[in-house]
Structure 1
Amino acid sequence: MKNLTQTAAQNHILNSLGGDELERMLPDMELVTISKGEVLYNPDEKITHVYFPVKGMISVTSLTAEGQQVEIGTIGREGMAGLNVCMEADRTPHESMAQIAGAALKMKASALKDEFNKGGTVQKSLLRFMHAYLLLVSQTAVCNRLHPVDRRLARWLLMCRDRVQSNLLSVTQEFLAAMLGSNRPTVTGAALALKNEGFIKYTRGKVEILDANGLENYTCECYPIVKAEYDRLPKYIVNQICV
């Protein structure tokens, strides 16, 4: 149990909880590794567990009838996958998969819902994260519709960096194209533009950010809008302990 408590501290929501709340939740949790590409939720399947990432990143994608896929949101150590259960929904039309391999604390959805309905810090922290996540989803829709691919790629790379706290990202151009709702030649051109600016370098299956400040200046306004909201999360959540 002590090891789980230490692991829970790596997730911002769990780290915000008081001792009694976390102690009630830990018996229903287990630490699981998540492989790159592993699907956590299939569209329209019942959500039986939620995931609190402690490492890596989860991508939420929308699939069309023609088989096209586009990313609508990402979840890392700041949040929880499976938010639907807190909104009286037990399934989602979207797919959630591990975009970057890592680990998470897996918890029964029914147990999380029971704890959420008690109110307290669990509910406050999850509601605050929901707000930030919904902002991310809506801003992603704006970005995908209005902004050029090179700016969108810069935003996506910065978001990944923020979630995994690393400048080295294991992603392929095929994967990037799917996440951005584009095609490989277009994404290849966008990546080349960022490389020529000295912002990144890439080899097969890996992208390294060389100049994060340059990327931030290059990307569209969507990144700072979302980042500002997410930057407020840790401070807000920690403050809930004293409420």
Structure 2
Amino acid sequence: MVSLARNRILEALPELERAALWAVAREKKIPSGTEILAANSPFSHVYFPETAVFSLVTDLVEGNSVESGTVGFEGFVGLPVFFGGESSPQRTIVQIPGVACVLTADAFRKIVGSLPSLDALLKRYALAFIAQISQTAACNSQHSILQRCARWILLTHDRVGSNDILLTQEFLAYMLGVRRPSVTVAEADLKSRELIGYSRGRMQVLDRAGLEAISCECHGAVRREFEKLTGAAVG
């Protein structure tokens, strides 16, 4: 039997609805960097992350890319399928390696209509996720790289359940849509303030309160929406 308890949406389901999902779901370990969905490609599967963290990435025609949304244990990857769509304009990649509960898109479509609690929870999650995407767009256009870097560390820290985060400067620059030297400068600033440690692709959060003080208001704004709508304390 698959354990679905580590995902907040599935944890909140009544026992009978969880049992119905257990019948068609499986747990899967997914490595960092795995692209689970190409832009504008049909969903073959949907995901309820447990320990894995996913990034929705928007690619621009000039070749740049930027993260537009983050999904961890609080959420669900496959909202277009839930709302009747087939694909997404964003790519979806695994940001932090870990475990997710996976269903085929066809199995999800067949079962979701018979699970009213799941339907209600996913609608509330979708509202919170829209708030995250909207705030991220504002953040990317208005706030400094240092503020955005601190915010990204915080939202990832919310989801990994550990002060240690597997993260390279190249990947963080990719997620923020900036050049690596800019991230190097921002990380050096945070490290000099003893807010983070960094060595060989591994970051350690040393002072979360300090990161919150440097970050823009975006992390707190999104966190309040998630807490209000889903009960999950994530930004």
TM-score (ref. length: structure 1):
0.92
Paired residues for 1:3-152 under 5 Å: 4=2, 7-118=3-114, 120-152=116-148
Question: In the alignment, is the contact (CA less than 8 A) between 1:115 and 1:122 conserved in 2?
Answer: no
Shift of 1:201: 1.2
- For residues 157-196 of structure 1, the aligned pairs below 5 Å read 157-196=153-192
- Specify the code of the residue in structure 1 equivalent to 2:125: F
Distance 1:63 1:10 in 2: 31
Determine the structure 2 residue equivalent to 1:204. Answer: 200
Higher helix share goes to which structure? 1
SS in 1 for 2:43: coil
Identical columns (%): 37
Distance in 1 separating the partners of 2:138 and 2:57:
16
Distance in 1 (CA, whole Å) between partners of 2:129 and 2:118 is 16
TM-aligned CA deviation for residue 79 of structure 1: 0.7
Distance apart, 1:119 and its partner CA: 5.5
SS in 1 for 2:52: strand
Which ranges of structure 2 fall in alignment gaps of 5 or more residues?
Answer: none
Q: What is the count of residue pairs matched by the alignment?
A: 232
Q: State the distance in 1 between where 2:216 and 2:231 align.
A: 26
Q: SS in structure 2 opposite 1:28?
A: coil
What is the Cα deviation at residue 118 of structure 1? Answer: 3.4
Which residue identity does 2:20 align to in structure 1? R
- Give the C-alpha shift of residue 103 in structure 1: 0.7
Paired position in structure 2 for 1:241: none
Deviation at 1:232, TM superposition (A): 3.2
Structure 1: 5+ residue stretches without partners: 237-243
Q: CA deviation at 1:66?
A: 2.7
Secondary structure of 1:224's partner? helix
